[in-house]
A = this chain, B = another copy of it.
Amino acid sequence: MIVREHIFNIMRKSAKLFGFMPIDYPSLESMDLFRTKSGEELLSQTYSFIDRGKREITMIPEATPSTVRLLGAKKNIPKPVKWYCIPKLWRYEEPQSGRTREHSQFNADIFGDASPVADAEIIGLACETLNGLGLKGSYEVRINHRQIMEKILDSLGTKNITEGLNIIDRFRKESREKMIENLSGNLSSTDNAERLMDFISGKVQASKADERIREFFPNIPFEQFSENMNETISALEAWDYNDIVYDPATVRGLTYYTGIVFEGFDKEGKYRSIFGGGRYDKLSSIITGQELAAVGFGMGDAVLENLLREKNLWKAEAARNRYIIITIAEEAQKFSLKLAGNLRARGIEAATSNTHKNLSNSLRSATANWYTHAIIIGKKEMESGKVTVRNLSTGEQKETDTSGIN
């Protein structure tokens, strides 16, 4: 939990920096809320049950429906609003690395702002969070635009856009042969399938998106969407978030996205996506009956925790000074208690060791419990007012006035 608490702190701090306000919603929602949005299939992978009041309820498997429902219940808040939340979510699935049955997810959304800068503030917040965790340079954000992909699929004679997007979504999981086979079934020819496959196989620097699309599909009028995407990209550049690539294979499986879509990955490609999201201007009307521009992301804690552990990026957080006061002479007990109160009043983390085991046992227990320093108090220390501070990782000891502890 030291790692996770550190992650949550940086999430909250970054959200505030971008002007997002905290919200929360219940862990239990009516099953209908998810039926509306995602259908029965999602519900078959949830912890759902009938409660004592005979309601069909589910432990929330995702955050967005609750957020939108909440917004519908608070119709009068002047828009735009920027909200964040770090709820626990539950899915009944086989647990895998980076995907557990229970996890916490950082969610941030902007409602009532259709501008590309809102898209940039959402992606920027995700980047700021990763940067704050020390991951700058280790991740890339892959972005794309749903409507560009729909235009392309259209021009290639798709039989069903949703199905086409779902096939593209499996790009990194299927062989080229399998992809071509699936795309051929969706598009009007195998030639088209191959062209699309070649197109989605190449990521480029985000500012080169137009070039790349025009190279493959010179006759498609995609500019109104790419202009929008380019504005988002330049805002991100202005804020110094630079690891953004245009990736036509990023389409996001869920059907409700209507504009920009994006996912964050570690550059080495070892892990699942770190975060993902996009613009979803239609979802609100399904849930609340009122259309409302919306863009947001979700960022789970499990992949981040793995990344931070691998890169040892949490140790600094754990290594802040934590003192334990070990009293080796019964008569010094009062002195030790006073010292503990004193240090805490100065904002210094200090605990007392009270079990009167021998010193070496106390030191071993202190080290195992993440204390960084032991303050050892005997009769001599009590009388002189100078205490012995032992660094628990190096074993080094020094004498100091209590005012010298920090």
Contact = CB atoms under 8 A, between A and B. Distances in A.
Interface of A: 1-2, 4-5, 12, 16-19, 21-24, 26-28, 47, 49-52, 59, 77-82, 88, 90, 92, 102, 112-115, 117-118, 121, 128, 235, 238-240, 322-324, 333-334, 337-338, 340-341, 344-345, 347-356, 361, 364-365, 368-371
Contacts of A361: 78
A322 B21 CA distance: 11
A356 to B, nearest CB: 8
B240 A354 contact: no
Given A113-B355, A344-B239, A369-B77, A17 B102 contact: no
A51 B92 contact: yes
A337 to B, nearest CB: 5
Oligomer: number of copies: 2
A369 B338 contact: no
A112 B355 contact: yes
Nearest to A53: B92
A37 B103 CA distance: 27
Given A27-B102, A77-B369, A78-B368, A350 B19 contact: yes
A87 to B, nearest CB: 9
A344 B52 contact: no
28 contacts: A1-B22, A1-B24, A16-B322, A16-B349, A18-B350, A19-B323, A19-B349, A19-B350, A19-B351, A21-B369, A27-B59, A27-B102, A28-B102, A47-B49, A47-B51, A78-B364, A78-B365, A78-B369, A80-B355, A112-B355, A115-B354, A115-B355, A115-B356, A117-B333, A117-B354, A121-B352, A238-B341, A239-B337
Given A77-B368, A117-B354, A369-B82, A238 B338 contact: yes
Contacts of A115: 354-356
Contacts of A90: 27-28
B334 A17 contact: no
Contacts of A78: 361, 364-365, 368-369
A341 to B, nearest CB: 4
A67 B79 CA distance: 43
A351 B18 contact: yes
A28 B89 CA distance: 12
Contacts of A355: 79-80, 112-115
